Chain A
């Protein structure tokens, strides 16, 4: 029984990353019409940023949570301004190819300097240890990851669905030309939106660093699972991405307990099933 809850917790943690990453992908896709293949690489950069902050400047985890998303977010915004900007009006597939190329470049560079093995990053002092809940032992850091991710996801949802800024974003997603004709600087909003999506990915990277090691390829296999999550959930709704992400993480965790050999593949199998039954995805708006 303990083992089951332990796996559920792992599932929730993975679900947190799926949710944060698919949320970022959905936001970017909505505004820019680009599937950001570089998302995994940017997640990785977030983790490395935390690592550098600690090992080069002594700034610990709590600083990293703040600084890494900003730094990587700025890097993302530079990418958007210099490279992605040229894709407007082109077929969506070019966006996929361009961001794939960016992912190769970023990952290749990191791999050259850091090899393929993982670098350690310690759990911050305040979050070490665990609590005995009776039905399971809860490592504090892992509980923190889930709770913090939920908070961030909710905050993002709130920002987009309930604020004036979010209204601008939603309107610009629907009809950017008209929104610009009202006097809103849409190109700048697009850049900032990309930065937001990237920042979420980097934040996930920081959260991930103490649990999974910091490796150049840590985002590469993850991004493909996130693609499957996105196909299952559809990219039409923010809440949909969040719920699908967490749900799939839990399902994956349960699979690991009951049928471990399938745990790597269950998300993909679910994707196949959803496609056969409901091609537009669970909350989907057809692409």
Chain B
């Protein structure tokens, strides 16, 4: 694949390991249900950090809480050293965080082009449309199709593509490989690796840890709304048995 991405990373991007996201004692509720009981973790600049865990552990809720999409949340979430626990989601997006949701969130009443252009550019340094089409060529052919007429893999590409345009430097990807064919999963893996090389910081939620292991730098294991373990990619082999127990695999 040709080397297309020449995006310059924004100035406040702390090169070489500053903490981009710092989450402490994050608790969150969906209505009356208490889902997160105190999440503690952080993500450093340029890393790919993966949250692993069973269904219902609270991984998606964590991403949504960071994004400000849950009304009731307490604790501390610091992004680039700025407290965002009380901030509304539109303002959080404008700080440079973008979410690719689990359900993909492709809008049926918009065509592919409109879906792609929907998220506004919030910071300089995002990918241009040409750069996006070179990453995801099949999107270019389907621009006029209704958003939901795309295949699962294409919708996932679209969901990732549209947040690359915004200039957000911190991406949260919720189960990007769920339900997709192996060849598409590989493609997504390549894309994430490329994004990492370009300096994006990525918080990934994945149940498929074999996939995660191809891109992640660090892992946290989530259970019942809390982080119960964490280790780096280097120690993955050593922790395999533990992981199997956690994930019930």
On A, residues with C-beta under 8 Å from B are 164, 167-168, 170-171, 173-175, 177-186
Contact = CB atoms under 8 A, between A and B. Distances in A.
**Taking chain A's interface residues, is the majority helix, strand, or loop, or is none over half, making it mixed?**
helix
A184 B90 contact: yes
Contacts of B117: 164, 167
Q: Among A168, A175, A181, A184, which residue has the most Cβ atoms of chain B within 10 A?
A: A181
B67 to A, nearest CB: 5
A33 to B, nearest CB: 16
A181 B68 CA distance: 8
Contacts of A164: 114, 117
Contacts of B69: 177-178, 180-181
A175 B88 CA distance: 16
A68 to B, nearest CB: 31
A172 to B, nearest CB: 9
A181 B69 CA distance: 7
Contact of A183 (B94, B107, B108, B110): B94
Contacts of B101: 178
Given A167-B118, A171-B110, 10 more contacts: A167-B110, A168-B118, A170-B109, A177-B69, A179-B118, A181-B90, A182-B90, A182-B93, A183-B94, A183-B119
Interface residues of B, number: 25
Closest 9 pairs (CB-CB, A-B): A183-B93, A182-B119, A167-B114, A170-B109, A181-B89, A171-B107, A178-B105, A180-B89, A183-B94
B120 interface: yes
Interface in B113-128: 114, 117-120, 122
Nearest to A170: B109
Contacts of A180: 69, 88-90, 93
Contacts of A178: 69, 101, 105
A134 to B, nearest CB: 45
B50 interface: no
Contacts of A170: 107, 109-110
Tell which of B68, B94, B118, B163 has the most Cβ of chain A within 10 Å.
Answer: B118
Given A167-B110, A171-B107, A177 B89 contact: yes
Contacts of B163: 182
A182 B109 contact: no
A185 B178 CA distance: 30
